[in-house]
A and B are shown apart, each in its own frame.
Chain A
Amino acid sequence: MRRVAITGAGTINALGHDVATTLTAMREGRCGIGPLEFRDVDRLQIRIGGQVRGWEAEAHFNRQDLALFDRFTQFTMIAARQAVAQSGLDFSGRLGLECGVVLGTAGGGVNTWDENYRTVYEDGKNRVHPFVVPKLMNNAAASHVSMEWNLRGPSFTVATACASSNHAMGLAFQMVRSGAARAMITGGSEAMLCFGGIKAWEGLRVMSKDACRPFSANRNGMVQGEGAGVFVFEDWDHAAARGADILAEVAGFAMSSDAADIVMPSQAGAERAISGALRDAGLNPADVGYVNAHGTGTAANDKTECAAVAHAFGADADRLMISSTKAMHGHLIGGTGAVELLACIMALRNGVIAPTIGYEEPDPECALDVVPNVAREAKVGAALSNAFAFGGLNAVIALKRA
């Protein structure tokens, strides 16, 4: 079994258009959630979200690209450019044959669906742009990444709702660890902040109208975000041999299924994924200093997750730091685990624990150290990132300091 290094990272999300800006915002506990701006927002009851601001796609892509890139693909390409550039890898030769792309998204080209349904249903037109299908398909982003960097190995897209990018990164990790690939571009992306996207979510009655307050007793729901996080996972020896800067080690991964309910989370299922990731990484609970929580800010998730973490860590739960960065960047659904992995890398590499902002009232059912409101300095040797999806699909990644 090979060791797996992270040698590149990229992102765009409500906190910033790159990793440095995002980590600075996380360190400062800045909130990227604000009033949503898009057509027909006045017909929504939920009008806040972690929207990417100041995004000018035309500044980054040419006309031909834009005809094919939905917003979720645009975000992916920007994040991938940053990650690949940081890694310093060149895939144009033989290396590209041994490398691929695994990305997560829940909805794929939601804006493309929305705009074109509007065209035919609301505007009554009988014709849509010829590229609607290749633009909206869930694998569009992964395919464009493969084409841009000549990655000719295994590439595909994973859709497991809110766990999509953790499942994607877990699979990428397994492929590099097993030797099936030398390096993988992995992470995830989501862009469903549009009228149809939010209208669909509204119906479930789990969204907050004012703020995302994970673990706080007065929390009243989740707030959506958008964006992408993309990483280069590389064979450790390959990275070390070329003198690459290793951001962190991907040490373990586990997934589990609740097999219980299509929306309600299960403590047992979450706990099995957490314990499984520790086991897979060869870590003891005492080795882990930080957990980036799924922490959606819903009543159900946060108390279930805290119970699962408390049980999986036993006595070590008392000194564990666990925070949800969703209060800052919103819930990126299929892309969320990828952006949240950045908080784990920051904890390991920079010794800074991102806070859970918006925290107002302790909840006895969430009685862990949730790093309320203010970032903290701490030396951390290992970190976990949790993701628990609708449908009861759980995916937990374990990282170690490089």
Chain B
Amino acid sequence: MSVKDRVIAIIAEQAVLDVDQVSPEMRLDELGIDSLGLVEAIFAIEETFDITVPFNANAPEKSSFDMSSVASVIAAVEDLVAQSA
């Protein structure tokens, strides 16, 4: 499975949707993922890819890890995976 497919699977699980209902242009808030869901998704991403995601729930906008849309999460994870390789 590609990084993209695995990230979509993680987000879909948090949003309680099927993977084919989640597409890259969607925003995480419109998928109904709240602050706890976000933190849980980050945990799943870290565990899946064995990476550390820089994210502080107090200042999400200041994080270099852009969690706004599915596409931005995929891009950020691809970046971190590449860095850790």
Judged by a CB distance under 8 angstroms, whether B55 is at the interface is yes
Judged by a CB distance under 8 angstroms, whether A373 is at the interface is no
Quote the shortest CB–CB distance from A59 to chain B (angstroms): 39
- State in angstroms the CA–CA spacing of A311 and B65 once bound together: 36
* CB-defined contacts of A45 to chain B, threshold 8 Å: 52
Judged by a CB distance under 8 angstroms, whether A371 is at the interface is no
CB atoms of A206 and B57 under 8 A apart: yes
- State in angstroms the CA–CA spacing of A264 and B34 once bound together: 11
Contacts A203-B43, A205-B42 known; A262 to B55 CB distance under 8 Å? no
From 338 to 383 in chain A, residues with beta carbon under 8 angstroms from any chain B beta carbon are: none
The one of A203, A221, A262, A264 in contact with B58, judged by C-beta atoms closer than 8 angstroms, is A221
* CB-defined contacts of B58 to chain A, threshold 8 Å: 206, 208, 219-221, 298-300
CB atoms of B36 and A299 under 8 A apart: no
- State in angstroms the CA–CA spacing of A300 and B36 once bound together: 13
- State in angstroms the CA–CA spacing of A204 and B35 once bound together: 10
Contacts A263-B35, A263-B36, A264-B35 known; A205 to B55 CB distance under 8 Å? yes
CB atoms of A204 and B39 under 8 A apart: yes
Quote the shortest CB–CB distance from A121 to chain B (angstroms): 19
Quote the shortest CB–CB distance from A50 to chain B (angstroms): 18
* CB-defined contacts of B36 to chain A, threshold 8 Å: 262-263
Judged by a CB distance under 8 angstroms, whether B23 is at the interface is no
Interface residues on A, range: 10 to 19
CB atoms of A205 and B59 under 8 A apart: no
Quote the shortest CB–CB distance from B47 to chain A (angstroms): 11
Quote the shortest CB–CB distance from A51 to chain B (angstroms): 22
Quote the shortest CB–CB distance from B23 to chain A (angstroms): 26
- State in angstroms the CA–CA spacing of A179 and B1 once bound together: 68
- State in angstroms the CA–CA spacing of A204 and B42 once bound together: 10
* CB-defined contacts of B35 to chain A, threshold 8 Å: 263-264
Judged by a CB distance under 8 angstroms, whether B56 is at the interface is yes
- State in angstroms the CA–CA spacing of A204 and B38 once bound together: 10
Residue with the highest number of chain A CB atoms closer than 10 Å, among B35, B42, B56, B58: B58
CB atoms of A203 and B39 under 8 A apart: yes
Quote the shortest CB–CB distance from B46 to chain A (angstroms): 10
Quote the shortest CB–CB distance from B59 to chain A (angstroms): 5
- State in angstroms the CA–CA spacing of A300 and B35 once bound together: 11
Quote the shortest CB–CB distance from B51 to chain A (angstroms): 13
* CB-defined contacts of B59 to chain A, threshold 8 Å: 220, 299
- State in angstroms the CA–CA spacing of A45 and B53 once bound together: 11
From 183 to 230 in chain A, residues with beta carbon under 8 angstroms from any chain B beta carbon are: 203-206, 208, 219-221
- State in angstroms the CA–CA spacing of A208 and B62 once bound together: 13
Q: Chain B: residues with CB nearer than 8 A to chain A?
A: 35-36, 39, 42-43, 52, 55-59, 62
**Selected A-B contacts with CB under 8 Å, 28 pairs:** A45-B52, A203-B39, A203-B43, A204-B39, A205-B39, A205-B42, A205-B55, A205-B56, A205-B57, A206-B56, A206-B58, A208-B56, A208-B58, A219-B58, A220-B59, A220-B62, A221-B56, A221-B57, A221-B58, A262-B36, A263-B35, A264-B35, A298-B57, A298-B58, A299-B57, A299-B58, A299-B59, A300-B58
Closest 10 CB pairs of A and B: A205-B57, A299-B58, A221-B58, A220-B58, A205-B39, A206-B57, A220-B59, A298-B58, A220-B56, A205-B55
